[in-house]
Amino acid sequence: MKLQRKNRLRALSLGAVAVSGALALTACGSDDTGKKDDAGKSTASASAGSIKCDDAKGQLLADGSSAQKNAIDAWVKQFSQACGVQINYKGSGSGAGVTAFTQGQVAFAGSDSALKPEEVTASKQVCKDGQGIDLPMVGGPIALGYNVPGVDNLVLDSQTIAKIFDSKIKNWNDAAIKKLNPDAKLPDLKIQAFHRSEDSGTTDNFTKYLIATSPNDWKYSGGKAWQAKGGQAASGSAGVAQGVKQNSGAIGYFELSYAKDMTSVAIKTGASTPVKPSVESATADIAAAKVIGTGKDMALQLDYATKADNAYPITLVTYEILCDKGNKADTLPATKAFLRYIASEDGQKVLSENDYAPIPADIIAKVRTTIDGLS
């Protein structure tokens, strides 16, 4: 009896070691950063009649940015209804998407940032006689939601935002915030700045804005990982939005769709009035972007320091990445037909229904020309 019991305990504890080890390994797999809650709500209002299928058929594999996953899902629903082509877009992240593309596993990739020179070099191995190019397709404002009781119209400028997120300004009644909001009743309340705990394209674009507009107050190199110390971290845009809702005195950044049921900061850009985040104000900002890609590449340089009226400066653009020449013959017709649809007026209209910003008319016109020339 005694022996048996001891052995059972030993077996149990051995099992526990193995299980906890295995947990630590497998748990990674379950982490999906694309916890968007409104994937299913896309309305079918855009008519499917305008979709030209050409000889598109079969199945398309794609992977990349989780920020545009909801938009792609909405498009795929329309497109596969019209053409019967199955498109499987995994939103496993921009980095994973680009890697899958340069390894020739996917027809196109989605990415929050344009291809880097070394990635273009790598793409030449999959694109026969060609190279990977960036096509801007989806825009979106990054809203700053806040939870300060009694304050409804908070205005901040880029320097103040940088100081708040770098824990230099710690209280809502700070003189710098008062100066920007002379009429507001700012409470004596600790500021809790929420950022993303995992690497994210939203963090990347938000800190790009801070670096471009307030280099003296934001002295970090930028990137997908949050670098400043202090504040609160939460997982996913949903987690950050939840944190802001739950905590009085909190402020956080996330895509517009998460800011629906809270108030968001209007940014003082130098325009005649402070700008609130919206689909229109983001499109207005992207309109001022410069195309810095060469040849067929359409990589954009966003104007973070914009002073135009009603142009919201914290905006991100996500790209579809594929070969300009040398796309695989079996997937090319379907890829072209799909991209032609999403770049069409109807396709771009789907975006604003899903809280994304459409790409401005003159840029999307160039994208359409590029798509027609794909081979």
Partner 1 sequence: MDISTQTTDASPPTPPPTEAERKRAARGATRPGDRIFLGLTRGSGILLLVIMAAMAVFLTYRASLAISKDHGNFLTTFEWNTNLNPPVFGIAVLAFGTVVSSIVAMVLAVPIAVAIALFLTHYAPRKLSGPIAYVIDLLAAVPSIVYGLWGALILVPHMQGLYGWLNDYFGWTGILSWEGGAPRAMLTVGILLAIMILPIITNVSREVFRQVPQMHEEAALALGATRWEVVRMAVLPFGRSGVISASMLGLGRALGETMAVATVLSPSYDIQASLLDPGGGTFAQNIASKFGEATEQGRDALIASGLVLFVITLVVNGAARAIIARRKEYSGANA
Q: Is 64 in the site for partner 1 (CB under 8 A)?
A: no
Judged by CB under 8 A, which of 139, 141, 239, 347 binds partner 1? Answer: 239
Q: Is 3 in the site for partner 1 (CB under 8 A)?
A: no
C-alpha 29/C-alpha 123 separation (Å) is 27
Largest alpha-carbon pair distance within the chain? Answer: 85
Candidate segments 48-56, 91-99, 345-353, 367-375, binder of partner 1 by CB under 8 A: 91-99
Candidate segments 93-101, 131-139, 304-312, 319-327, binder of partner 1 by CB under 8 A: 93-101
Q: Is 199 in the site for partner 1 (CB under 8 A)?
A: yes
Please, which residue, 33 or 306, has the CB nearer to partner 1? Answer: 33
Write down the least CB distance from residue 359 to partner 1, Å.
24
Please, which residue, 58 or 223, has the CB nearer to partner 1? Answer: 223
Q: Are strands 132-147 and 315-323 parallel, antiparallel or unpaired?
A: antiparallel
Please, which residue, 200 or 370, has the CB nearer to partner 1? Answer: 200
Please, which residue, 94 or 331, has the CB nearer to partner 1? Answer: 94
Q: H or E element: which one contains 66? A: none
Cβ–Cβ < 8 Å for 322, 350: no
C-alpha 227/C-alpha 347 separation (Å) is 37
Burial of 273 (0-12, 13-18, 19+ CB in 10 A): exposed
Write down the least CB distance from residue 33 to partner 1, Å.
5
Number of CB atoms found within 10 A of residue 33's CB? 22
Binding mask 29-48 for partner 1 (x = CB under 8 A): xxxxx---------------
CA distances (Å), 258 to each of 55, 103, 144, 212, 350, in order? 38, 34, 10, 25, 18
DSSP one-letter code for 275: B
Rule CB under 8 A: which residues touch partner 1? 1-2, 5, 9, 12-14, 16-25, 27-33, 92-96, 99, 190, 192, 197-200, 223-225, 227, 229-235, 239, 242-243, 246-247, 250
